[in-house]
Structure 1
Amino acid sequence: MFKCKQFTVKQGNCAMKVNTDSLILGSWADVTDGARVLDIGTGTGVLALMMAQKTDTSAHINAIDIDTGAVEQAKENVHASPWPHKVTVFHCDISKHISNGYDVIITNPPYFAEQNKRSAAYDAQSHTRKQARQFLSLSPEALFNAVAKNLSSTGRCYCLYPAVQENETRRIALAYGLHVQRILRVKHEATVAPYVNAYCFASTSAIETEETLIIRAEDGRYSAQYQRLCRAFYLNF
């Protein structure tokens, strides 16, 4: 169970638990009151609930996942939250969901193409965990194709991919008419390279803005920057 300031997420039936990456993405994403939002691969429903917390009662969030266990868990978490009327959870394959009116699409997609070095733990992963972590069910091509079909002309898509895959991520997104508007390069510490990038894509080109987020300060504690970003959600911030 993961407790945020305004809601609690049960995660026992989900392959992927609430993680730092999702909390960064949900905190960083801009969403306005009245927005129509789509959360792809919702898992526990944490991103959908973060979007619900950020918006007024006129917003609506559709959350979809192909895993039945995750769908039931997300439904339970939404029902127990302060915003059950704002979030609808569907058991759905994104390739079969087409609605070009979303103002915001948000997703923490599976992005491990393969394990470079196999291990007993890797081999022992359940199918649902592999599905949640790797390109088994949602490749970047499939994701950006779906985003292009579901995003409104003025909408924004927020997602995460490994920093080392930046050139490839940009190339694939552009092939589907999606341009980087903002990018957040996330580092565990100031002295190391970014491990993941958060992206804001849109169907129109614009001057790109870049930011860097450092999670841990020199003393090992969460940095002031990270605390400011995630303060609305973390209990201890």
Structure 2
Amino acid sequence: MDLTSFSLGDPLLWGKLFEIILLNVILSGDNAVVIALACRALAPEQRTKGIALGAAVAVVLRIAFTVVIASLLSMPFLRIVGAGLLIWIAVKLLVEDEGQDEDSIAASSKLWKAVQTVAIADIVMSLDNVLAIAGVARDSMPLLIVGLVISIPLIVVGASLITNLLTRFPILVWAGAGLLGWVAGEMLDSDPWLVTRFGAELLHQLEYPVAILGALLVLGLGYLIKSRRPDPAH
């Protein structure tokens, strides 16, 4: 998808932009917690500066990382691999224990040390965001960059709000996982090798069915794994 082929009044353009922002916000709950934890030991007057600087560095690094991944996805088979990784990440999002990594996040009383921690942790934890956003943006780098630039400040400003929403409304986690599965299906359906083998017209007709199957696969696997786990209350 080329951004230059769309006008600002095109609902498809705004739909894709909204999808990028929504995915990044839903999937960044843990990242928001990391930002808060890494900066918690800073002096009050430095805390806001640390969060802002860490987020700014993370924006630059994540855009570069995402652009590289998006470029690689134009190669045969890599979208198939990316779809498989997204399915795995989405299921992991549903079944992993909450808060398991929080105690391992080092707080720092030094501003630049905290900034470094925020930036590195954000990149390390952002594979799901990068793959999902690259899958949605397809070949439109401007759309990808605009979506990231808009959504990351929202995450920083609303770090505690995002975490509270995900805790209060667990259905949002399932919605995010299902959306990841949907994007995985779209990514699989657009792999250059499959397009060459089966034809662009057939894959275009199968785009939504495959996306729906991807979402259902994630939700089904997540439910199955969680239902087979022993109840910690017993």
Q: What range describes the TM-score normalised by the shorter chain of this pair?
A: under 0.3
Structure showing greater radius of gyration is: 2
So what's the TM-score if we normalise by structure 2?
Answer: 0.23
- Looking at secondary structure, tell me which structure has more strand per residue: 1
Report 1 or 2 for greater relative contact order, CA contacts < 8 Å, sequence distance ≥ 6.
2
